[in-house]
Amino acid sequence: MDNIHLTLLLVKAMVPNPGLAAGELVDERSWTDMEFCKARGKWYPVSKTLAERAAWEYAARWPGFELATILPSTCLGPLLQPTLNASSVVLQRLLQGSTDDQADYWLGAVHVRDVAAAHLLLLEAPTVSGRYLCTNGIYQFSDFARLAARICPAYAHAIHRFEEGTTQPWLVPRDARDAARRLLDLGLVLTPLEEAIKDAEKSLTDKCFLP
C-alpha cells in the first residue's frame, strides 16, 4: 500500500503516572497508569490511553502506515466553543480561589495555537512517526499558580498560594527546550506561557466565565 500519514491528538495519555520512580522523567516513553485511573473512576485518561494504544496496534498491521501522536499538556488560550473545556476549567477555578492542586494530573501547559501548529507541522513533514510531547515545560502546579497570580493581577488576591514543591513532588522539572525537543527540532516555535495565560484569562472574561 502507499504510505499513509496520520496524526492524532491525545490529551491525558501520559498522566497520571504515580508509579514513576524517583527522578524518572515524564517524556514520550511515559504512559498513563490505567489501573490507577480505573480504581478512582477517572475514565477520561483511560479512554485516551486506550485510543492511542489501539491506534498503534492498528498502524503496526499496515506496512507504510506512518502514525504520529501529539501529547499536549493543559491547553490554554482563546475558547472557540461557547462552553468550557477541561483545560480552561483548571485556570478558571484557580483564578476563583480553588485549592485543587491537580494532584497526579498536572504536567504543564501550552498555548492551544501551538498544539494546532504542531498538527500542521507533523502533517506536512515528509516522514515523521512516534509520540510527540507538546508542552511549554514541565513544572509543578504550585509554580503555575504563582505565575498566574503575576500575569492576572485582577485575580491575584483569590489565587491560592500552594506551598512550593508540594503539588507534584514526583515531577522532575524540564524546560520547554528539553520537554518538547522533538517538535522544536522540527521547527515548532512555542508561545510564551505568560501569553497563553493572558489569552485564556481574556477569553474566560469575554465569555462571562470569569467576573
How far out from the chain centre does Cα 204 lie? 19
Q: Which of 38, 48, 198, 202 is catalytic?
A: 48
207 noted as active-site residue: no
Helix axes 193-206, 141-151, angle to 10 degrees: 70
d(CA 34, CA 205): 35
Q: Which residues contact 18 (CB under 8 A, 6 or more apart)?
A: 33, 36, 104, 170
Q: Which residue has the cell 505568560?
A: 194
d(CA 83, CA 208): 11
d(CA 109, CA 72): 8
Catalytic positions: 48
